[in-house]
């Protein structure tokens, strides 16, 4: 609910358990008065009072200078160059050549529901009653630049979304040099910052540091959200834990260059900003032209990091992921990649399909290597026609055989890439991302295709459209296997060259929009060398994302724990593979915390492995709803316990729980009590595996003693509890 108290000039934005309060102060400055647990109060003007550092925090000459300075006030959207020396959310260079920016309140509108910010992806409402939206209209009187701050609060979940639209209402052109999606000033620096760092094969590991004076943060300038830092951050109040205390989450719905920064200033406050990375960014606006920022999703809870994650999960399941597979059961797939790499033909895939069917799988996915003349990664990206030397008789013949066996069929694409050795490159040598007079770097033998261009997008769309429309394809894996360097487009004039990175992301979104509309029945799975674009922008188009190319279950634990800070199990692509150390059972138990599937040669399994797989597939069906729609509780985090870890899913009515524990490393004199969370303490629960009945209180406070149940490297146990 959103209310405006016109005598106090205060906006109150309430979710069930949180309040976000904005005040319009003297000289129409827009100030943040509070964000945190729900407050019934309206008048929080006292919260804006600050002591400033004499003349070193300059102030507006029309307000008594001891009362107010933008340098210390809790600014709702911080401006560059007008007395606030902390990190700025916006900087607009005007026709005089300076980028002093100063926005003040002009008006507002409160409405039901939530408007789309297309062509950018955003959280949406299924019904207008789910949310209310506030637009605050602000203006820089000198340049005529108009800034709309857009807020949506949800009535059934503790989330607030924010984005910003800038319109050049002046007479001269301007250039936006910084435009962050959100700025949040908190009156303390009593926090730890949690972010998700990583690399290829080790994405989204949790990292925690104490906030310090100055600027700290994470960013990507790789052209994608990246393996290396995720557009997610959380502030956890000192003393808060996984289960209790203040946690502020912030996540950007964007798949390109981003920046998150937190600055603790001299007076001990914290400012967070999240948005498009200003490095190599600017956007030119002629009079009356507008620019819309991506959307940021804020979550506040006093139920610790676990509570924060569960809010993100619920919001993303119901209000971000779209399409047929939002709630429909996803097919259990087997993917050819780790079993064959580029070495397959129709016969091999048909043999895979037969074996997969016998085991109860639903879909065969043919990965990289089916098109052009591709037998390794040196060529053919961009040539999206079937390699009939490999697939004799063509794609439809293969699909017919797979379908006859009773399996669906999926295919791999890497639409935003081009190999220098491709027919597409020879026909259009200026279609790759490059800048004049400079040799381009190469990554995995490929260039990036310039999808900021409409003609390029049309070509790729048409090529892919003919394959997808002429064949019965149920699934598409959309890959992206390098980052962008020497970033530029042959079509962009020099003065707009810094628009390239954002135009590239808009081009990707446009392609994804066209495909998801043209093929609403196809299940899309995003991928970028594993989870290099695991972000909410991608989740808007594809309900699942391949979490990592590392499929070893022990390595996967930190990856899945970290990913789960923000993203639900139903979005995390996880497969059992033939790889490495641990046994099939643990591989299955870990992959069940995700979309589940296989990535191995099913013709080479031992009878023992086949029996285990039959059991796993049974578990997949049995626990599908619990894992996809239940509440995740992280029980023991592998980032902090080096020997073991555990997690659980609890049904929303608390009548059912599934707990999984894994031994990562044998611990001498191992003692292991597994304590559950999120159960009803007064209920009795029967453990399916042991037949024993325990109270919820016992399971959560004493825990179940697994000391003699699992202890060796790689052993794991899944326990299913059902309320009596």
Nearer CB in complex with ligand GLA: 370/694: 370
Is there a catalytic annotation at residue 625?
A: no
Binding stretches for ligand GLA (CB under 6 A): 337, 367-368, 412, 479, 481, 527, 529-530, 546, 549
C-alpha separations of 197 from 229, 502, 563 in Å? 5, 23, 10
Upstream peptide bond of 400 is cis (omega within 30 degrees of 0): no
Whether the CB-CB separation of 183 and 73 falls below 8 Å is answered with: no
Nearer CB in complex with ligand GLA: 408/533: 533
Nearest approach, Cβ of residue 410 and ligand GLA (Å):
11
Query: Could you count the other beta carbons within 10 Å of the beta carbon of residue 615?
Result: 13
Nearer CB in complex with ligand GLA: 249/531: 531
Nearest approach, Cβ of residue 330 and ligand GLA (Å):
17
Query: Which residues of 676-715 form beta strands (DSSP E)?
Result: 684-687, 693-695, 704-705
Q: Where are the alpha helices (DSSP H) in 413-453?
A: 423-427
Nearer CB in complex with ligand GLA: 474/549: 549
**CA 295, 299, 304 angle in degrees (round to 5)?**
150
Nearer CB in complex with ligand GLA: 365/679: 365
Question: Which residue's entry shows tokens 């600050």?
Answer: 50
Q: What is the largest CA-CA distance in the chain?
A: 83
Query: Could you count the other beta carbons within 10 Å of the beta carbon of residue 342?
Result: 15
Whether the CB-CB separation of 664 and 644 falls below 8 Å is answered with: yes
Convert 120-188 into a string of H (helix), E (strand) and C (coil).
CCCCCCCCHHHEEEEEEEEEECCCCEEEEEEEEEECCCCEEEEEEEEEECCCCCEEEEEEEEEEEEECC
With the C-alpha atoms ordered 480, 485, 486, 492, is the resulting torsion angle positive or negative?
A: positive
Nearest approach, Cβ of residue 294 and ligand GLA (Å):
25
552 contact partners, CB below 8 Å, separation of at least 6: 577, 579, 580, 581, 582
Among the listed residues 132, 368, 549, 619, the single catalytic one is 549
Is there a catalytic annotation at residue 479?
A: yes
Tokens of 188: 């303390």
Whether the CB-CB separation of 202 and 550 falls below 8 Å is answered with: yes
Query: Could you count the other beta carbons within 10 Å of the beta carbon of residue 324?
Result: 13
Nearer CB in complex with ligand GLA: 200/686: 200
* DSSP per-residue codes, 524-572: EEE-BTBBTT-SHHHHTT-SEEE-BS---HHHHHHHHHHHTTTS-GGGE
Query: Could you count the other beta carbons within 10 Å of the beta carbon of residue 587?
Result: 30
349 contact partners, CB below 8 Å, separation of at least 6: 336, 364, 366, 398, 402
Nearest approach, Cβ of residue 599 and ligand GLA (Å):
8
Nearest approach, Cβ of residue 337 and ligand GLA (Å):
5
Nearer CB in complex with ligand GLA: 267/378: 378
Nearest approach, Cβ of residue 534 and ligand GLA (Å):
11
Nearest approach, Cβ of residue 395 and ligand GLA (Å):
18
Nearest approach, Cβ of residue 565 and ligand GLA (Å):
22
267 contact partners, CB below 8 Å, separation of at least 6: 50, 51, 52, 53, 72
Nearer CB in complex with ligand GLA: 410/529: 529
Convert 329-384 into a string of H (helix), E (strand) and C (coil).
CCCCEEECHHHHCCCCCHHHHHHHHHHHHHHCCCEEEECCCCECCCCCCCCCCCCC
Convert 7-31 into a string of H (helix), E (strand) and C (coil).
CCCEEEEECCCEEEEEEECHHHCEE
Nearest approach, Cβ of residue 630 and ligand GLA (Å):
27
User: DSSP character for 436?
Assistant: T
Tokens of 312: 């993100």
Whether the CB-CB separation of 306 and 242 falls below 8 Å is answered with: yes
Nearer CB in complex with ligand GLA: 158/367: 367
Closest CB to ligand GLA: residue number: 368
Nearer CB in complex with ligand GLA: 85/546: 546
Tokens of 133: 């939206």
Whether the CB-CB separation of 576 and 619 falls below 8 Å is answered with: no
3-state helix, strand, coil in the chain (%, to 5): 25, 35, 45
Nearer CB in complex with ligand GLA: 193/464: 464
- What's the CA gap between 555 and 655, in Å, rounded? 32
Nearest approach, Cβ of residue 252 and ligand GLA (Å):
23
Nearest approach, Cβ of residue 562 and ligand GLA (Å):
18
User: Catalytic residue numbers?
Assistant: 479, 549
């Amino acid at each position: 609910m959103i209310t405006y108290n016109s005598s106090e000039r205060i906006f109150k934005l309430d979710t069930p358990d949180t309040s976000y309060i904005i005040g319009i102060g003297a000289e129409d400055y827009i100030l943040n008065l509070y964000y945190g647990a729900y407050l019934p109060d309206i008048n929080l003007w006292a919260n804006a009072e600050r002591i400033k550092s004499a003349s070193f925090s300059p102030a507006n000459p029309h307000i008594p200078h001891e009362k107010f300075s933008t340098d210390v006030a809790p600014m709702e959207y911080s401006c560059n160059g007008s007395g606030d020396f902390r990190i700025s959310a916006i900087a607009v260079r005007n026709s005089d050549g300076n980028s002093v920016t100063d926005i003040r309140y002009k008006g507002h509108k409160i409405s039901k529901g939530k408007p789309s910010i297309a062509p950018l992806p955003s959280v949406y409402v299924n019904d207008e009653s789910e949310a209310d939206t506030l637009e605050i209209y602000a203006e820089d009187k000198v340049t005529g630049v108009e800034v709309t701050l857009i807020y949506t609060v949800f009535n059934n979940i503790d989330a607030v979304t924010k984005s910003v639209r800038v319109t050049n209402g002046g007479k001269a052109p301007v250039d936006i040099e910084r435009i962050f999606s959100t700025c949040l000033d908190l009156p303390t620096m009593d926090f730890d910052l949690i972010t998700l760092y990583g690399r290829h094969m080790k994405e989204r590991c949790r990292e925690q540091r104490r906030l310090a004076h100055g600027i700290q943060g994470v960013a990507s300038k790789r052209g994608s959200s990246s393996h290396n830092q995720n557009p997610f951050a959380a502030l956890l109040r000192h003393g808060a834990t996984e289960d209790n205390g203040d946690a502020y989450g912030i996540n950007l719905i964007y798949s390109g260059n981003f920046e998150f920064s937190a600055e603790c200033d001299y007076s001990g406050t914290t400012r967070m900003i999240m948005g498009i990375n200003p490095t190599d960014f600017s956007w030119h606006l002629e009079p009356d032209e507008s620019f819309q920022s991506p959307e940021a999703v804020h979550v506040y809870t006093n139920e610790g990091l676990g509570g924060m994650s569960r809010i993100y999960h619920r919001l993303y399941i119901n209000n971000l992921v779209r399409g047929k597979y939002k709630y429909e059961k996803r097919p259990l797939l087997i993917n050819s990649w780790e079993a064959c790499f580029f070495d397959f033909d129709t016969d091999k895939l048909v043999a895979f399909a037969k074996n997969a069917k016998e085991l109860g799988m639903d879909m065969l996915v043919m990965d990289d290597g089916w098109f052009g003349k591709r037998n390794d990664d040196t060529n053919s990206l961009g040539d999206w026609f079937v390699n009939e030397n490999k697939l004799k008789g063509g794609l439809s013949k293969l699909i017919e055989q797979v379908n006859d066996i009773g399996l669906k069929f999926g295919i791999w694409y890497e639409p935003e890439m081009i190999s220098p050795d491709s027919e597409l490159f020879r026909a259009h040598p200026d279609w790759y991302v490059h800048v004049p007079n400079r040799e381009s770097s190469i990554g995995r033998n490929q260039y990036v295709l310039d999808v900021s261009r409409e003609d390029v997008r049309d070509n790729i769309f048409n090529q892919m459209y003919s394959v997808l429309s002429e064949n019965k394809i149920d699934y598409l894996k959309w890959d992206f296997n390098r980052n962008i360097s020497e970033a530029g487009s042959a079509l962009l004039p020099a003065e707009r060259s810094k628009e390239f990175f954002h135009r590239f992301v808009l081009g990707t979104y446009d392609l994804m929009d066209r495909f998801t509309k043209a093929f609403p029945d196809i299940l899309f799975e995003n991928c970028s060398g594993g989870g290099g674009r695991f972000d909410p922008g991608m989740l808007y188009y594809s309900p699942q994302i391949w979490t990592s190319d590392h499929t070893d279950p022990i390595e996967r634990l930190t990856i899945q724990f970290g990913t789960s800070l923000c993203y639900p199990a139903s979005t995390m692509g996880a497969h059992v593979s033939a790889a490495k150390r641990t046994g099939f059972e643990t591989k299955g138990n870990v992959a069940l915390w995700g979309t589940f599937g296989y990535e191995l040669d099913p013709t080479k399994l031992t009878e023992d492995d086949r029996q285990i797989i039959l059991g796993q597939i049974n578990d997949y069906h049995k626990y599908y709803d619990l894992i996809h729609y239940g509440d995740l509780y992280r029980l023991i985090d592998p980032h902090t316990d080096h020997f073991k870890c555990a997690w659980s899913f609890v049904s929303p009515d608390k009548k059912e729980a599934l707990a999984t524990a894994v031994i990562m490393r044998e611990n001498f004199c191992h003692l292991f009590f597994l304590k559950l969370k999120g159960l009803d303490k007064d209920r009795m629960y029967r453990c399916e595996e042991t037949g024993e009945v325990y109270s919820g209180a016992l399971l959560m406070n004493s825990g179940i003693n697994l000391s003699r149940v699992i202890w060796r490297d790689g052993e794991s146990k899944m326990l299913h509890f059902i309320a009596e």
